[in-house]
Structure 1
């Protein structure tokens, strides 16, 4: 949380520091955060972190593909925690990659096809134990404020249907309310808006079933 506060102060946004709320209990998931803020779960702005593979030459790409195929054949008998998740995203730490943070609505899930179309690689989420070292924030408190310099931040269009949203504030028991315009203004290392999610409902349709964790 202190990292967020220092970042806001550096951006002459002390008014946002005053909005940060620290809770006695956890706000680490969409459901818990919605209870803490007494808001629509879809308004919780969850920050999802992925590895984006750096550009490779054709020769490097072919060699990498051969290595992947060999590894997949060797690991085929048992699928561990690095396998495909329910949303189609995989976990693990590939070499030569950048960190991408996508801030999405609480009822949105990343669409694998859309993600690959935008970032030219499948969605591969950061491992739980790597999140804080790579982003600057611990799991459950990840947000787009005061992130490490190498993290590229994107905002998903699923957030645009709301006037206000509720991201975390750097810890698993904190957050703040701000407008979507303020989110765009103060997000660190912001690149652009993207459309890489599915499952979210139009404004006024209510929260979607099967909301995923923040």
Structure 2
């Protein structure tokens, strides 16, 4: 394999997915102390990113699953999940930590996948020209590097969520930060995509 191409793929992944580390740290904070949290976040991240890659690869070959006019509306996914999380946080704002811990089973695979897909949906537009010009060999290298780096991103999100100072802040404010971040991502995708007009 060409090391230059691997490096290019790694840089492209990092630049287009840097914000995912914060989102994963928030998901890890939401699932702190619960069994299956790492598995659910990893599976959701891979599921969502596989959908992004499938769309980019198909588009590089000339097929598209979603018209460009629909892509901005992917922002409705994190927006809806953020509103749901905000409503739950508001309803249970007076619960003790023990009650809150028993009430929620942590992040769900499909929720993580939906946020990953919506947050990275605009990356398809960046990946398509790269894939189209790289040829099948180069595209394969990109896909392999991207999928390997998803695991690194999950590990980084978990790492940040388990640092004592960060973990303390996330345990105290994570139930507020997660809805705010998800709603913000949803609105940003909708606005930048022109869902409300240009």
How does the TM-score come out when normalised to structure 1? 0.22
Q: Which has the higher strand share?
A: 1
How does the TM-score come out when normalised to structure 2? 0.24
